Amino acid sequence: MHGYKHNMFATISDECDLTSLRNAIVSQGLKNAISTSDPITVFGPVNKAFEKFVSSPTCGDLKQVLLYHVIPQFLPSKRLVNDTKYSTLRNDGKKVRVNVYKCPTFNNVITVNGSKVLEKNIYASNGVLYKINKVLCPPSGTIAQIVTNDPNFFILLTAVIKADLDSALNDPDSNLTVFAPTNEAFSHLLVELGITLQQLLDLPNLKDILLYHVLGQTIFSAAIKKGETNNIPTLDNGKTIDLNRKCKNIFIKDQQKRISKVISPNILAENGVIHAIDRVLLP
């Protein structure tokens, strides 16, 4: 950091696409907090991100939202570690999840809680600034808690409990991606297989089918390349899926060549991410 004249507030003020962030910092009395001599890393939402921002109960007031964008460490991109949760200045101890994706499997991008880094390594005298495309809020719970609280996933929840996987999806220290079939997706599967829901729940390989929807790493949509990415391993004994991005849509091909579409991406959880899908995957 030696040699950079401007502190973090001055550095943010110099960026034309961070005026909303600058004004928010001033309004919440945080100018001195980010002008500190202590090392910090700031994830700065651009103006368009603030225009689209809609607060939720997990966000807290604006001051806590802003503090959630500051890590009390000096972390240029070469020091960021994939699938790591970093402590922030927020007063409730909530952490942000950083992912560093690499080619050729993924796009060469960095995400923070799934938000894409637009520009990295803007140095200030007391730290480093990243521009991001969304305002950050903490997740509302673990994957298991989110599925439990969403009626669209009632059948999935029932199956997860029957297969005794709920505790695994509730582990806050995990890094998981879950492709979560909706109730409608399960209803289509019952018709496709010609069975009842109870017969589905009684299948001896129910646990394997569910694990086929889970990846042992956190993959947000920003990481998925255009075109097809093959042989992504799942937690079902390494059986694989293929991912395919066409325009803004993401599709998953299972090992029976059946196609499922992501209908609600990037549902952030404490232990990973959920992507709601419209068809159950089959190994």
User: What separation in angstroms does the CA of 266 have from each of 54, 80, 178, 218, 239?
Assistant: 16, 21, 10, 10, 23
State mean pLDDT over 19-25: 98
| Run of H or E residues at 71 | strand 70-71
Would you give the DSSP letter of residue 186? H
State mean pLDDT over 189-215: 97
CB 272, CB 176: distance < 8 Å: yes
State mean pLDDT over 246-257: 95
State mean pLDDT over 134-161: 97
The pLDDT of residue 3: 59
Structure confidence by residue, pLDDT tens digits, 78-96: 999 999 999 999 999 999 9
Got the DSSP string for 45-57? E-HHHHHH----T
Map out the domains of the chain with their CATH numbers.
8-132 (2.30.180.10), 143-277 (2.30.180.10)
The pLDDT of residue 255: 95
**pTM (predicted TM-score):** 0.95
First-last CA distance in the chain: 51
Q: How sure is the predictor about 238, in pLDDT bands with cuts at 50, 70 and 90?
A: confident
Mean pLDDT of the chain: 96
State mean pLDDT over 244-266: 96
The pLDDT of residue 4: 76
Q: Using CA atoms, how far apart are residues 156 and 212, in angstroms rounded to an integer? A: 13
The pLDDT of residue 1: 53
